[in-house]
A and B are shown apart, each in its own frame.
Chain A
Amino acid sequence: MNHVMKRVATAFAIAMALALGTQAAWAQSATLKAVKDRGELNCGSNGQLAGFGLPDPQGNWTGFDVDFCRALAAAIFNDQTKVKFVPLIAANRFTALQSGEIDVLSRNTTWTMERDTTLGIDFAAVNYFDGQGFMVRKSLKVNSALELNDASVCVQQGTTTELNLADYFRQNHMSLKSVTFATADEAIKAYDTSRCDSYTTDSSGLYGERLRLSDPSANIVLPEIISKEPLSPAVRQGDDTWEDIVRWTHFAMVDAEELGVNQQNVDDMLKSDAPDIRRLLGVEGQFGQSLGLTNDWAYHVIKAVGNYGESFERNVGQGSPLKIARGLNALWTKGGLQYGLPIR
């Protein structure tokens, strides 16, 4: 009898736990609640990198990483302006996230195992596949990074770039003179006054930084890509639902591109018969609710910033001064690596 009682009690406890647990998983993201209570999203972004995060002369933030935070704000508030951008340098970005100063870090940050496992942060999804490159002055007549033996290289500190640089020179038995600066601004300025022969950062950044040089056309980006730099937005570890919101906001944008949904036609697409599109835009299913959002969250995202391809082209691609090709960031159907996970 006692046994039975015990078993019943245990089963009841498990059922309770499951019930409460399920409820907890539904919409009980502490970060989401804090963001909603505050009325705006705190987004850590670059502030110095053309194409990715840069305030214009009027103080409006623009860029690929900036768009992502606007997309999040649209998903949460149906208002892409409810974002406060916090400009961060490489050196203080993780501390800002760990300490709760920002809710999400959307600042061209490489997803590495060490960062993922030791910093108390989680990466949501790779929204830009990048790799490190070198820029040199044309007058040096260098055609390959392998010719840079004994060259001095300006680099920003606290980045994977700093490590890849030392690795690459060591691996190729070249001697390196690195000059390290705390911010990209200082590093590029030093390169521009020819304190260094070369400037190195992620190749996306090289195109952006080149625009800020006194004579952009006198500089070339060398063909070598010396590292893998999967750039991803990051969140604090321990709030899985919040991480899901960030992750699926990215996938919704990629899915929209795959399905041909864009900023212009999104209203018409609400009437589409295609089940994938109906689920994406919340006409069918409860997908938004399970994140603690409204079911038409992805509709708001696309209405606000467009699909992945639109954001890419507007900020860093053909619609921008950077003119970066889609390359690895093309959809998987077009030979790239961007693959929208199914919403169902």
Chain B
Amino acid sequence: MPEIVRPSSSSRTARRAGNIALQIALVVVAGGLAYAAIHNVAQNLANAHITSGFGFWNNTAGFDISQTLIDYSASTSTFGRAFWVGLLNTLLVGALGIVFATVLGFVIGIARLSRNWLVAHLAGGYVELIRNVPLLLQLLFWYNAVLKSLPQLRGSVTLPGGGLLNNRGLFLPRPEFASGFGSVLAVFLCGIVATGVVRMWARRRQDRTGAPVNIVWPALGLIVVLPSIVFMLAGAPLSFSVPRMGRFNVIGGVEIIPEFAALLLALTIYTAAFIAEAVRAGILAVPHGQTEAAQALGLRSGPMLRFVVIPQAMRVIVPPLTSQYLNLIKNSSLAVAVGYPDLVQVFAGSVLNLTGQAVEVIAITMAVYLFISLVTSLLMNLYGYAIAVEER
């Protein structure tokens, strides 16, 4: 047998030093290229008499935005403020889209594995239909075909509770809190904490005795009944500002604009189809023996899914789920197509045009998307570690 030649310790050190030198050289070259590119852009902009820099950030914006989560006025707010308005609108649609798409995706993914023929095939049909039609078309479908066919302003549908629905959006009563509502809120929050304590106690008891404890009734009492009593005692410190018809528009209430609804619908429905597939793959990846073992222990299908299959499936589901979340956030920039004022529409649209500073504005926008995606990715990775198999 030939003897394995081990590199001597000195040659290994030399190689490591060479590696480090190579890495440093690469970093220097990359940095140099980046510097040259930036310098070159600045030089060319100056030669072409195009204003550059970030001085525009504090200039007055002067244009109106249809949905603002923070105070914004065309006359006094700056381009910087408009940036935050756009960013928050992007985060709003992204966050809600992720929540809804996850719920819908899990339901459909599980339904596709159902033993009920109709349920399984409906879910399968959904997935095949939705994921094979371009998202932009779906968005235009929801905006133009569905939401615009809602009744016009004068024929608004009145919803129970005083809401109004028409092709300009959904208008809901806005809660207005009087003094004394704080105590109701405090009792409510205490109720949630107390329920948590009860749950811990119940779980510990189940671990000890094996008998499951039903905590639905105490939870209901703590979270719903008790705050309701306090609410009555405080003299019902809550009223609603009901939307009403004005000369042109609906006045008052909370407004959900159709552009937002269309974008949220399209993102949710589209992404849910992909999440459903990830969920199905994850569940199928759990060895059949696990299901049989659970059945042998006498678990019914609900608890079996909850306690045995899904926790193991999650380890397979999380990585593709992360990519779907990232896709959803990036796809939200299609807002431009329907006029929803997200970051791209407001900042890379109006602000870019009014300032003409394309290089700066696009660079900032790209950096922001990169940052949001990296943070999302980081959070999902942390979750992935938390549910990973603990090797002992």
Taking beta carbons and an 8 Å cutoff, which residues of A are in contact with B?
90-91, 94-95, 98, 115, 117-120, 140, 148-152, 157-159, 162-163, 165-167, 169-170, 176-182, 186-187, 189-190, 193-195, 197, 236-238
Residue numbers in A under 8 Å from B257 (CB-CB): 179
Residue-wise interface mask of B (143-155) relative to A, using a CB-CB cutoff of 8 A (1 in contact, 0 not): 0100010001100
Q: Does B365 contact A (CB under 8 A)?
A: no
Residue numbers in A under 8 Å from B64 (CB-CB): 162, 165-166, 169, 176-178, 180
Residue-wise interface mask of B (341-363) relative to A, using a CB-CB cutoff of 8 A (1 in contact, 0 not): 10001000110111110100000
Decide: A120 and B352 in contact? CB cutoff 8 A.
no
Decide: B354 and A182 in contact? CB cutoff 8 A.
no
Decide: A158 and B249 in contact? CB cutoff 8 A.
no
Closest 8 CB pairs of A and B: A158-B353, A166-B74, A120-B50, A118-B51, A178-B64, A151-B248, A120-B49, A120-B48
Contacts between the two chains (Cβ within 8 Å), count: 121
Residue numbers in B under 8 Å from A163 (CB-CB): 62-63, 354
Decide: A236 and B48 in contact? CB cutoff 8 A.
yes
Q: Could you show 5 A-B contacts with beta carbons less than 8 Å apart? A: A119-B50, A120-B49, A140-B248, A157-B345, A195-B168
Which chain B residue has the least Cβ–Cβ distance from A122? Answer: B49
Residue numbers in A under 8 Å from B251 (CB-CB): 150
Decide: B49 and A237 in contact? CB cutoff 8 A.
yes
Which chain B residue has the least Cβ–Cβ distance from A90? Answer: B353
Q: Does B42 contact A (CB under 8 A)?
A: no
Given contacts A98-B48, A119-B51, A179-B259, 14 further A-B contacts (CB under 8 A): A91-B352, A94-B353, A118-B355, A150-B246, A151-B248, A159-B353, A165-B63, A166-B74, A178-B66, A180-B65, A182-B336, A190-B339, A193-B167, A197-B249
Give the Cβ gap from A115 to chain B, nearest Cβ, in Å.
Answer: 7
Decide: B75 and A170 in contact? CB cutoff 8 A.
yes
Q: Does B258 contact A (CB under 8 A)?
A: yes
Q: Does B115 contact A (CB under 8 A)?
A: no
| Complex CA distance for A330 and B50, rounded to whole angstroms | 35
Q: Does B208 contact A (CB under 8 A)?
A: no
Decide: A195 and B356 in contact? CB cutoff 8 A.
no
Taking beta carbons and an 8 Å cutoff, which residues of B are in contact with A?
45, 48-51, 62-66, 74-75, 144, 148, 152-153, 167-168, 246-249, 251, 257-259, 336-339, 341, 345, 349-350, 352-356, 358
> For the complex, would chain B's binding face be called helix, strand, loop or mixed by DSSP majority?
loop
| Complex CA distance for A247 and B160, rounded to whole angstroms | 64
Give the Cβ gap from A251 to chain B, nearest Cβ, in Å.
Answer: 25
Q: B249, B338, B353: which has the most chain A beta carbons within 10 Å?
A: B353
Assuming the contacts A166-B64, A180-B66, asked whether A194 and B354 have C-beta atoms less than 8 A apart, the reply is no
Residue numbers in B under 8 Å from A195 (CB-CB): 148, 167-168, 258
Give the Cβ gap from A119 to chain B, nearest Cβ, in Å.
Answer: 4
| Complex CA distance for A166 and B152, rounded to whole angstroms | 25
Residue numbers in B under 8 Å from A159 (CB-CB): 353
Decide: A157 and B353 in contact? CB cutoff 8 A.
yes
Residue numbers in B under 8 Å from A119 (CB-CB): 50-51, 356
Assuming the contacts A162-B63, A180-B350, A194-B152, asked whether A149 and B247 have C-beta atoms less than 8 A apart, the reply is yes
Residue numbers in B under 8 Å from A98 (CB-CB): 48, 50, 358
Which chain B residue has the least Cβ–Cβ distance from A136? Answer: B248
Decide: B66 and A177 in contact? CB cutoff 8 A.
yes
Residue numbers in B under 8 Å from A152 (CB-CB): 168, 248-249
Q: B152, B337, B356, B358: which has the most chain A beta carbons within 10 Å?
A: B356
Decide: B350 and A158 in contact? CB cutoff 8 A.
yes
| Complex CA distance for A238 and B358, rounded to whole angstroms | 20
Residue numbers in B under 8 Å from A194 (CB-CB): 152-153, 167
| Complex CA distance for A169 and B62, rounded to whole angstroms | 11
